Amino acid sequence: MVRLFTVATILAAFALAGATAQAQPKQGGSMVVTYKDDISTFDPAIGYDWQNWSMIKSLFDGLMDYKPGTTELIPDLAESYTISPDGLTYNFKLRKDVVFHNGRGLTSADIKYSIERSVNPETQSPGQGFFWQIAGYEAMASGGAKELSGITTPDDYTVIINLSQPDATFLHIVAINFAFAVPREEIDKYGLDFGRNPVGTGAYKMTEWLLGQRVVFERNVDYFRKGSPYLDKITFEVGQDPSVSLLRLKRGEVDVLGDPIPSANFLQEKNDPANADLIVEGGLLHTGYITLNTTEPPFDNKLVRQAINMAINKERVIKIVNGRASIANQPLPPAMPSYDPNYKGYAYDPAKAKQLLAEAGYPNGFETELYTMNTDPNPRIAQSFQQDLKAIGITAEIKSLAQATVIDAGGQGTAPMLWSGGMAWIADYPDPSNFYGPILGCGGAVPGGWNWAKYCNEEIDALAAKADGMASTDQVEARLELWRQIYNKIMDDAPWVPVMNEVRFAMHSARIGGEDTLFADPIHIPVHYEYVYDKDVQ
Amino acid sequence: MLRFLAGRLLQSAFILLGVTIITFGLLFLIPADPVRMIAGRSATPETVESIRRQLGLDQPIPVQYARYLGNLVQGDMGRSYIQKARVSELIASRLPATLQLMAAAIFLQLLIGLPAGIFASTRRNRPLDKTVMLLSFVGISAPQFVVGLLLIYVFAYKLELFPLGGYGTIWHVVLPALTLGVTIAGWYSRMSRSSMIDVLRQDYIRTARAKGVPEYRVVLVHALRNAILPIIAMIGIDIGLYAQGIVVVEAVFGWPGIGQLAWLAIQRLDIPIIMGVTLVAAVGIVLGNLLADIATSLIDPRVRHS
């Protein structure tokens, strides 16, 4: 019996060793990634695009990061951290082995400088507002103070951040790109051109940038996580038409498509058995929705909004996008904590919708306008909505316009109905509160704000503030439950018609290896650049 | 000749000034806010206003225009709102690629369009003429992105004769230039055909034929010299035609030119880049017309004396 046990243990140990060896690929090799649009900047305080968001994550680091392939927070530049019982003081101990690409060691002053730089109005960072909870934010954001009084650095490897009120999302905030560490001397040297000459602490350093053509990342041999990243070199080719990129991938010139597989080729590629291992399906923290302007008739009437929710045939929309989405019935996408799998939502029921309209005093429907972005497939989706509305007696005129114009109409509150496709909310960080404030909260319901439904429910705003104040570790579950209730209450008011959650299909060449979760990473899109590897060098 | 040139230059300067005024005005008529595009979706109204102030976008439009023009005269085209880089650097890094593509395309369209038109004119209303004209019509009507993708699929992917898009060697330029060239050659063949037909009807051609000049000399020497004038004027105007085609063709072939820069800037309402690209395109068109005028006046003395 004992003997048998020993053998089993040894076998298990071998199996474990084998698994570990497999989990640690050899370094070396390279990869080519293509994108349709150019890269605008690598400045972490500025960059906020589909392309550069994940690239910046490989060039720079923040106090916190996410476990690859998941939405689970882990310390990064911080070695450890403590949170005071009142949730107001965060004490981060920094790693001592971190050096910038220019050779200088990272200290606590760099963390303070970098966050302050994003808050400084002169930087014009789109991320400024994320740091609202740090003590002294108002004074600095308004241009008065030159630093954040809430961040102190008692020694070179300790950063203490004091908040003006508890915020349960704060660890996500120090993991966001806008909080990434940048070296002051390089910013002083390059000024506004730092975005073209990035110097960070990240796994890769940028070694070449031919404007409009390609960017080359090479492995940072001094990276503090030894043995990582795996690839020696990543070449990003920009300005590449997605259809041509697909042909190049088939010929072996390209390894990863940065953009989605082109719509025209999608079904053919997905159904091709040869691609079974090459196309990975992953969720996006995304919801596509129709906003209903709650401040203007007829959508100021809750019954009308609920009727619209029942009138929309979401099934047809999924067909329009070739099945690259799933039906949504609530604001949060399924991959987001607090998503409620038991919530039923409003079922598709045109008869009931018509009845509700009559109850609301519109038995013969009404005329309205539906705004949409003018790039495919959005006008086609809008036409599908138009048909659905017609069926319950509503005549909707489609306003198909350029992105900036639609965003403006939504912000100014001149769009009675707006389809969010093409500019919908993709989460900045994986926390339910990120889907509330700017797009459903009172704070975003101001002229120019992104709350296009102009929905402002003081009671829910108070609940949201309460939820985000629940910052201690034993409140995590209770907080997520409260958020679940908040979104259910919102759906009762029906300021939106949640329509679909986009599903991302990432395609890569056969020579690039890595767990499927790395190709469907919810944070690093399209793939986790630091953890995929080159099979040719294994 | 000098007076002629000076007059044309003065005229060009006014045209360019007009272009800057109109573009600037139009950009501010668009019902969208560039500051919102910079500030992003999480920005508070205070952040938005602070950025607006820093960029001077809170000033009256004439003041903003005067400031832009003042900087422009000193050679400063400003910095991109989104990329923060100097517009002049962004344009300079991409202009060579676009010029290279245009030169190759003009060469190809003349190579295809001129002989086709001349050939058709000498066989007027016969089946060969009709075939050439039908093909020209197909060329003119074909959407450039379809032609581009088709050429890539056949010649680069299936036959592997050319690279699959990109930039660098002489081989890279062939397919994008052909896409532009084929679609625009249609105009040239129709234009050169009708121009040749006009000239071939004239008395001096009959005289030449009566003298016993061989037919090929009549067509290529006597007639072509006069028929070419409207074609040269058209090359000048052509550069304007390219302004639309080049955005499409550059996108399909991954050609790192100015069209791609403009496309991204328009989506994000990056006004300094849009202004810069429009201005460069306008300079190109004006310069093209000017060169065409000069060339015409050199070939045909009647133009410079009228």
A509-518 pLDDT tens trace: 999 999 888 8
Give residues with Cβ within 8 angstroms of B141, minimum separation 6.
none
Spatial distance between the Cα atoms of A251 and A244, rounded to a whole number of angstroms: 11
pLDDT of the residue at A3: 36
The list of chain A residues with pLDDT below 70 reads: 1-23, 424-425
Partner residues linked to A134 by β-bridges:
A163
pLDDT of the residue at B306: 53
Q: Which residue of A has its CA nearest to B248?
A: A241
Q: Choose, out of A35, A37, A38, the residue to mutate when testing the contact with B (most B CBs < 10 Å).
A: A38
Q: Which of B31, B42, B165 sits opposite A405 (nearest CB)?
A: B31
What tokens appear for B233 in the block? 């004027």
Give residues with Cβ within 8 angstroms of B247, minimum separation 6.
B259, B260, B262, B263
pTM of the model: 0.88
User: What's the longest Cα–Cα distance across chain B?
Assistant: 85
Partner residues linked to A152 by β-bridges:
A160
Cα dihedral sign for A170, A172, A176, A181?
positive
pLDDT of the residue at B182: 87
Spatial distance between the Cα atoms of A371 and A403, rounded to a whole number of angstroms: 10
DSSP B42: T
The list of chain B residues with pLDDT below 50 reads: none
Q: Which residues of B touch A410 (CB under 8 A)?
A: none
Question: For the purposes of burial, counting CB atoms within 10 Å of the CB of A426, is it exposed (0-12), middle (13-18) or buried (19 or more)?
Answer: middle
A434 in Cβ contact with A428 (< 8 Å) = yes
B165 with A126: Cβ contact below 8 A? no
Residue whose structure tokens are 């010649």: B155
Backbone torsions φ then ψ of B107, nearest 5 degrees: -60, -45
Distance between start and end Cα atoms, chain B: 12
3-state secondary structure of B128: helix
Partner residues linked to B194 by β-bridges:
none
Q: List strands edge to edge, sheet with A30-34.
A: A204-210, A214-219, A233-237, A30-34, A256-257
Residue whose structure tokens are 């910013």: A187
Q: Which of B45, B82, B166 sits opposite A446 (nearest CB)?
A: B45
Residue whose structure tokens are 């989405």: A325
Give the distance from residue A414's alpha carbon to the nearest chain B alpha carbon, in angstroms.
11
List pLDDT tens digits, range B132-145: 889 888 888 888 88
- Alpha-helical runs (H) found in A327-475: 350-359, 378-391, 403-412, 437-440, 458-469
Give residues with Cβ within 8 angstroms of A131, minimum separation 6.
A115, A118, A119, A137, A148, A173, A178, A179
pLDDT of the residue at B265: 87
Q: Which residues of A touch B167 (CB under 8 A)?
A: 213
ipTM for the predicted complex comes to 0.85
Q: Choose, out of A196, A213, A251, the residue to mutate when testing the contact with B (most B CBs < 10 Å).
A: A213
> Chain A, 111-140: which have a CB under 8 Å from a chain B CB?
121-122, 124, 126-130, 132
What is the interface size between A and B, counted as CB pairs within 8 Å? 146
A247 with B38: Cβ contact below 8 A? no
- Express the helix, strand and coil content of chain B in percent, nearest 5 each: 80, 0, 20
Please state the separation of Cα B49 from the chain's center in Å: 39
pLDDT of the residue at A6: 37
A239 with B93: Cβ contact below 8 A? no
